[in-house]
Structure 1
């Protein structure tokens, strides 16, 4: 089975800055040393029945001041078929945003940008430059990777206002919009993914479960995926690894093996045999390959 991994990160600690990977910088977590090392495409090893046909590299803080340096490094280093999502601050004044966008799009692998919102979501989305720059992104036929908590209904309100006036912006929610194991927050998350699913240009990527809980259960992971599929439909959901952060929970092979267990023919011999979240081979191929192939322009 062919896979395009639509969300992963590669590091070269000698060439890049990666401030967030340094021990004395946030985020502070006891297992940071497990990922604070060099990772290349050669670490993306899969065994049968899985084959990695391509990947999407998501910006990883290589150089936040000159984000094109990360793209140049990737294009000089990687031989596998890949696409890049570059870092670009959407609150920049229009002239600076356009200048940076022009530099980034001179690299053939760039298909979109990410600017992490998270704790600053409302302030960033309320910034006058943000809406204008997202409209520019849409005009340039580039996508935006959205990283924010979808349990925050006020922030989702603001996002929906922007989406309503930017109907051509291709947007992909990262890490399933941070579902939590808190029942109240989870209910808000579920309501808000349904609201966002009403926009046909919005897709959702399921990954990053290890950032919510390093010891998450496969049944909880599968529940989240199933609810994303219920709201967005199979054609607008992608499964991804978030490598190398996924190593906090499992190997690269086992991360994808957990997704493979969503298929009907794989479940019979596993402890998840009683689950109701079953997808056929064609649907799983959409979730693991063809949706990413289309969205990221392979």
Structure 2
């Protein structure tokens, strides 16, 4: 029987149309293998076979044009044929945020925004303008993709404040918040903070981006954080994702999803939730 997949975190590139500064060789990140993904990537490159069918996806902003983020959405909506939703770039510091969101809201695929927080997470999330802009997202019933290290306790508590204040705001943590890989003190903080986050029912978590921490990652290594987040959040708030095309720095797209299905020892019902149902719900693909 064919298993449908909704991939809730991937990127398509049109290098001839967009900026993509982070993919240029003279701009960070300075990965020696970055050139292998610095190319045009379209819907046709999302190939699944062997009992897996890509029934939809969520495109996460990829630096096409951060000043005019609707340009990336217009390109996607003019070229993509599969069922999809988009998470646009938007600046949480911006005093023009509401106007940007009004423009983006006219695009039918837009369900939310991302401002990459990373190591600036605490400064951004505690800024007064950020609170005002989250109120805009809440009013518009849109989502926020939060990319930052969950071992950052200060940032976690700021995010919880926003989640509790804005009940319509769906917050989805990207890349599992960079879970434990090294046995350091940050690992304990990640585990503690995952427990803090679980009390906010409008916060979900996506597991992907393993290649960004370790190009040689194994499915065995990610079983532990997967079980931890399922135990903590409950299975309806957990999603498996690819981070395509970055995932191909470690393994092909098909191999990734085959491994998720066969190597993580998930029941058929649980895999259905993590690989399809939850993404369709949290990103409004239904």
Once the two structures are superposed, the pairs formed by residues 152-171 of structure 1 within 5 Å of their partners are 152-171=152-171
- Once residues 87 and 147 of structure 1 are traced to their aligned partners in structure 2, the CA distance between those partners, rounded to angstroms, is 12
Deviation at 1:21, TM superposition (A): 0.2
Q: Is structure 2 residue 183 aligned with structure 1 residue 191? A: no
Q: Please give the secondary structure, in 2, of the residue aligned with 1:123.
A: helix
Partner residue of 1:151? 151
| Among 280, 284, 289, the residue aligned to 2:267 | 280
TM-superposition CA deviations, 1:136-188 (whole Å, max 9, x none): 10110100000010011122122222222223211000000011323221111
Partner residue of 1:218? 219
Partner residue of 1:43? 45
Q: Is structure 2 residue 281 aligned with structure 1 residue 294? A: yes
Deviation at 1:2, TM superposition (A): 0.3
- Once residues 140 and 57 of structure 1 are traced to their aligned partners in structure 2, the CA distance between those partners, rounded to angstroms, is 19
Deviation at 1:22, TM superposition (A): 0.2
Q: Is structure 2 residue 14 aligned with structure 1 residue 12? A: yes
Deviation at 1:285, TM superposition (A): 0.4
- Once residues 104 and 155 of structure 1 are traced to their aligned partners in structure 2, the CA distance between those partners, rounded to angstroms, is 27
Contact 1:180 1:212 in 2 (8 A): no
- Comparing 220-229 with 155-164, which one deviates more in the overlay? 155-164
Unpaired runs of 5+ in structure 2?
A: none
Deviation at 1:262, TM superposition (A): 4.9
Contact 2:180 2:225 in 1 (8 A): no
- Once residues 55 and 262 of structure 1 are traced to their aligned partners in structure 2, the CA distance between those partners, rounded to angstroms, is 22
Contact 1:46 1:52 in 2 (8 A): yes
- Once residues 34 and 147 of structure 2 are traced to their aligned partners in structure 1, the CA distance between those partners, rounded to angstroms, is 20
Unpaired runs of 5+ in structure 1?
A: 264-277
Contact 1:5 1:239 in 2 (8 A): yes
Partner residue of 1:136? 136
Contact 1:6 1:57 in 2 (8 A): yes
Q: Please give the secondary structure, in 1, of the residue aligned with 2:85.
A: strand
Query: Would you identify which runs of 4 or more consecutive aligned residues in structure 1 move more than 4 Å?
Result: none
- Once residues 111 and 163 of structure 2 are traced to their aligned partners in structure 1, the CA distance between those partners, rounded to angstroms, is 19
Q: Please give the secondary structure, in 2, of the residue aligned with 1:261.
A: helix
Deviation at 1:106, TM superposition (A): 0.5
TM-superposition CA deviations, 1:38-83 (whole Å, max 9, x none): 1000000001210000100000000011000000000011111110
Once the two structures are superposed, the pairs formed by residues 1-298 of structure 1 within 5 Å of their partners are 1-93=3-95, 96-183=96-183, 184-262=185-263, 278-298=265-285
Deviation at 1:279, TM superposition (A): 2.6
Deviation at 1:218, TM superposition (A): 1.3
- Once residues 263 and 270 of structure 2 are traced to their aligned partners in structure 1, the CA distance between those partners, rounded to angstroms, is 10
- Once residues 14 and 122 of structure 1 are traced to their aligned partners in structure 2, the CA distance between those partners, rounded to angstroms, is 35
Contact 2:49 2:254 in 1 (8 A): yes
Deviation at 1:228, TM superposition (A): 1.1
- Once residues 214 and 262 of structure 1 are traced to their aligned partners in structure 2, the CA distance between those partners, rounded to angstroms, is 18
* Alignment length (residue pairs): 282
Deviation at 1:19, TM superposition (A): 0.2
